Amino acid sequence: MSNGEASTDALRIVFAGTPDFAATSLQALLEARKNPVAVYTQPDRPAGRGRKLQASPVKKLAEHAAIPVYQPTSLSNETEHKKLAALEPDIIVVVAYGLLLPPRVLAIPKFGCINVHASLLPRWRGAAPIQAAILAGDKETGITIMQMDTGLDTGDILLKQACKINADDTGSMLHDRLARIGAKSLLKVLSDLTSYQDAAEKQDNDRATYAGKIDKQQAAIDWHNSADTIARQVLAFNAWPVAFTEMDKLRVRIWQAQPSEKFSDAQPGTIVGCSSEGIDIACGKSILRVTSLQLPGAKVLPVSAVLNSRRDLFRPGRVFNSL
């Protein structure tokens, strides 16, 4: 999609994104004085206990910067296509937008559409690459700036930037770090766009893996799994949707936990130890020590604080259900 005769010094950028991850890239564009001519984001959604309509982080930032905001429910109809084409974008930058860009839309900008994706493609194509990398026990992930095509994260690679996954990285911690790396990588590509496009690399489809959209039920703990597996589940789903288990229909959300080298022949889900240092729970393999949790209607607390009022709930011998 290179066009050597066109300058990239003053690109007419249309930015498409919705959550905080995308807002980080939009903020970087604004700070670099590469203000988009328009921003596309998902329609306002009901949120909170009052279910009031709430603007996306990208919309809030765009409005603060006085950038026109568009919120179509689809880009497939003729009216929306004409609106976008009328903006005459040189490039569309897409970061966690959440809507499909049809082939006709991909063809509008002279430099096409590029995407900031939170993995080292072709590993973890799809909607939830950050959580998938932690769940799989990957030691490394990163950011890929990709030239978009009609497939699901199948486009040519313009730039990759690797990032180590630390042993204690939660989904939210890794999200924030990758958002910053993504923003810097985006600016780097935009600073010399045609060179990156001329050197673009095809993805190896044989090495592709997929990370589907997160279902809250994926956060349900099956105590028959190993302690290592459950610990990664706790990390991946912190801070959303948060790993959970149940005992006597009481839902307990687990925010922090570590696998132990100790073993127990107790039924998986059985509490085998309880102290201010943590609640030890038998798993299919080894023991998981829970150090921070949340009871219904309560705040997230360290186990030492929870035991001050609910020690009876977590006495040894009690059993959590495998969900």
Residue with tokens 């009031």: 52
CATH code for the part of the protein at 13-211: 3.40.50.170
- Inform me whether the pLDDT recorded for 24 exceeds 60: yes
d(CA 268, CA 255): 19
Nearest to 271 by CA among 288, 284, 292: 288
Answer for the pair 260, 252: CB distance below 8 angstroms, yes or no: no
Domain extents in the chain: 13-211, 217-314
Answer for the pair 260, 280: CB distance below 8 angstroms, yes or no: yes
Looking at residue 64, its amino acid is H
Nearest to 232 by CA among 291, 322, 190, 169: 169
pLDDT tens sequence across 38-54: 999 999 998 877 788 99
Q: Where are the beta strands (DSSP E) in 153-236?
A: 157-164, 210-211
| Separation of CA 65 from chain center | 25
The 3-state DSSP class for residue 308 equals helix
Question: What DSSP element (H or E) covers 136?
Answer: none
Q: What CATH class has 217-314?
A: alpha beta
Categorize the per-residue pLDDT at 9 as very low, low, confident or very high, splitting at 50, 70 and 90: low
pLDDT tens sequence across 211-225: 999 999 999 999 999
pLDDT tens sequence across 88-135: 999 999 999 999 999 999 999 999 999 999 999 999 999 999 999 999
Categorize the per-residue pLDDT at 7 as very low, low, confident or very high, splitting at 50, 70 and 90: low
Question: What DSSP element (H or E) covers 56?
Answer: none
Residue 51's pLDDT is: 83
Peptide bond into 109 cis (omega under 30): no
Residue 48's pLDDT is: 76
Answer for the pair 21, 95: CB distance below 8 angstroms, yes or no: yes
Average pLDDT, the chain: 95
Residue 102's pLDDT is: 96
Looking at residue 231, its amino acid is A
- Inform me whether the pLDDT recorded for 3 exceeds 60: no
Largest pairwise CA distance in the chain: 74
pLDDT tens sequence across 53-84: 999 999 999 999 999 999 999 999 999 999 99
Strand partners, 287: 260, 282
Residue 10's pLDDT is: 86
d(CA 129, CA 242): 16
- Inform me whether the pLDDT recorded for 310 exceeds 80: yes
Answer for the pair 129, 141: CB distance below 8 angstroms, yes or no: yes
Give, as one character, the DSSP assignment of residue 213.
P
Give, as one character, the DSSP assignment of residue 43.
P
- Inform me whether the pLDDT recorded for 8 exceeds 80: no
- Inform me whether the pLDDT recorded for 6 exceeds 50: no
Residue 261's pLDDT is: 86
pLDDT tens sequence across 158-204: 999 999 999 999 999 999 999 999 999 999 999 999 999 999 999 99
Residue with tokens 């949120």: 47
Residue 323's pLDDT is: 78
Average pLDDT over residues 272-279: 96
Alpha carbon separation from 70 to 44, 62, 87, 220 (Å, rounded): 11, 10, 11, 37
* Overall residue count recorded for the chain in this entry: 323
